[in-house]
Chain A
């Protein structure tokens, strides 16, 4: 069972602490349970084990990873020593010139900085703090450095109509990569789903506008647009298949095939403090539970897309149906697809979106 699978990419969630309160955060609801965080020495060992397993890219994330600046610098350096590419996913409010110098000196390859919206008023409202201006300053400073930079914006009902302004902001500060991702409905975002999910009309308008901008900026700006799968006929190939290319290590050391998988309470996920990473990847029950196509029920089992989208997202199947082993209900072929259309119809029918609940510890 173990031979053909090799992880390419590791998401290292250094902490779930964060000074912001984005209602679309995919972090788990029980943030307090993650207060005990792996120390730097353990993280270094995890990176070594990941390199030995064949991992080529490490994404440092959270929470806000730069709340642990010393660890960020040390781990970027370790990743570099082991030939791995490193990416820092940050909201940018602690990215001083000094920290930037040290990260680049350690060999950081790529920084992703998120904004909550293109304009301060809405952005600060979503973040729950006055930070937009500071983020723009961080973006501007990083854009001048010899490091790849991506501006991220999570799209949802409240900001998706301003998608062109996000792209204009990127042009203005000199960012050449933009990632616009519709909120993935896990963790806090799932709790806020009735407030976050845009209407179909909004989604379609945004898609056209982003396409147009991408055409206009071709060769100058790379724009990635991740659509809301609730409105697509087929689900996304989550993580390119469970346990096939990606692994996530949470702040407490537990290892997940997908960053949202902690929600699946029917599986036990081992920690790097208990078992070697290679054992967890190759042998553990959790990583093998939904690997490949053997686990699939109908309609996936006989579907020609089964090795395209791998039956969709296990976490979404669990959140919506209580069974992680069913076809993702976002798929139009799922017998339980009504669980999704019920939500999209409610969104379309409601004149006002539900109230946003800010993420809290």
Chain B
């Protein structure tokens, strides 16, 4: 299972009012609730599966659906170069 990390120069920030943004080189991206929930867990250590499990538990969602949603969101973020995939050998259990 692959391990996502925020790319260099990309930062997640949650404001006091609960709203979340991604700070990127080109500016500020506001995040909806589900994107924020996923990105908040992206730390370069958790795998996609672990992030999905965590959210499944938290939101009592369907595991397979959650797995697919998280994978798709991260794939989108990676095509924008906001998320990168940690090399296999750096992955922690």
Assuming the contacts A110-B9, A148-B7, A148-B8, asked whether A57 and B79 have C-beta atoms less than 8 A apart, the reply is: no
Tell me the minimal C-beta distance from A272 to chain B in angstroms.
23
Additional 19 contacts, C-beta under 8 A, given A85-B11, A87-B25, A150-B25: A8-B27, A9-B28, A56-B13, A56-B23, A56-B28, A57-B23, A57-B27, A109-B23, A109-B25, A147-B9, A148-B7, A148-B9, A148-B24, A149-B9, A177-B25, A177-B81, A219-B79, A219-B81, A224-B26
Q: Can you give 5 A-B contacts (C-beta < 8 A)? A: A56-B28, A146-B8, A147-B9, A148-B25, A219-B81
Q: For residues 10 through 25 of chain B, which have their beta carbon under 8 Å from a beta carbon of chain A?
A: 10-11, 13, 21, 23-25
Q: Mark B43-85, 1 if CB is under 8 A from A, else 0.
A: 0000000000000000000000000000000000001010000
Q: Which 8 A-B pairs have the closest CB atoms?
A: A148-B9, A85-B23, A110-B25, A148-B25, A110-B9, A146-B8, A109-B9, A56-B28
Most A-side CB within 10 Å, residue of B8, B10, B24, B28:
B8
| Cβ contacts under 8 Å, B28 to chain A | 8-9, 56-57
For A80, give the chain B residue with the smallest CB separation: B11
| Interface class of chain A by DSSP | strand
Chain A interface residue number, banded: 20 to 34
Which of A6-25 touch B at CB < 8 Å? 8-9
Category for how many chain B residues contact A: 10 to 19
Interface residues of B, Cβ cutoff 8 Å to A:
7-11, 13, 21, 23-28, 79, 81
Whether, in the assembled complex, A176 has its beta carbon less than 8 Å from a beta carbon of chain B, the answer is yes
A150 / chain B contacts, CB cutoff of 8 Å: 25
Tell whether A222 is near chain B: CB-to-CB under 8 Å: yes
**A83 in the interface (beta carbon within 8 A):** yes
**Binary contact readout A60-102 vs B (1 if CB under 8 angstroms, 0 otherwise):** 0000000000000000000000010101000000000000000
| Cα–Cα, bound, A109→B9 (Å) | 5
Q: Given A9-B27, A148-B8, is A56 in contact with B81 using a C-beta cutoff of 8 Å? A: no
